[in-house]
Amino acid sequence: MKNLPNVFNELFNELDDAFTKSPFFGLVKEVDSLLPFPKFQLPNFPPTDIIKKDNEVIIQMAVAGFTKEDLTISFDEDRRVLTVEGKTEKQEKEEGTYLVRQIAKREIRSVFPIMNPTLKVVEAKVENGMLTIKLVSDKVEKEPTKIDIK
């Protein structure tokens, strides 16, 4: 019987091969390289929620294991891009053999294009493993004005 980690590794490698050797994978990479702007893609690590309410946007990221000192948040006003980066010290190896290892210290980098020019970052905090970034617009969205047709 194979040991458990090898079975997972083989399954992952088969799925990775099936995706990257697909004839469409090269086309997707080629199209992405021709785009004049970075492709917006939510990262799958760390898990992220983006909530809009009234004139604010809240970005929540699960960053368990990261302290506020491990995280860097920057907002490029010219490019309208919010970047979150995190680095932690290397994880100490525990005694024994891992059967499943999902809690790994690794670097994170998430980039969020902020298309609304009135949004400003007003607050960022880490609490109970959650990073919350609050952006507020100084403009309140109004309902579209109805135009009568004559």
Domain boundaries along the sequence of the chain: 1-36, 42-137
User: Please, what is the average pLDDT of the chain?
Assistant: 76
**pLDDT, tens digit, 9 for 90 and up, residues 128-148:** 999 999 999 887 667 788 888
**pLDDT, tens digit, 9 for 90 and up, residues 22-81:** 555 444 445 445 544 444 444 567 889 999 988 899 999 999 888 899 999 999 988 889
Residue-wise DSSP of the chain: ---HHHHHHHHHHHHHHHHHTSHHHHHHHHHHHH-SSPPP---SSS-EEEEEETTEEEEEEE-TT--GGGEEEEEETTTTEEEEEE--PPPPPPSS--S--------EEEEEE---TTEEEEEEEEETTEEEEEEEESS---PPPP----
Secondary-structure class of domain 42-137 per CATH = mainly beta
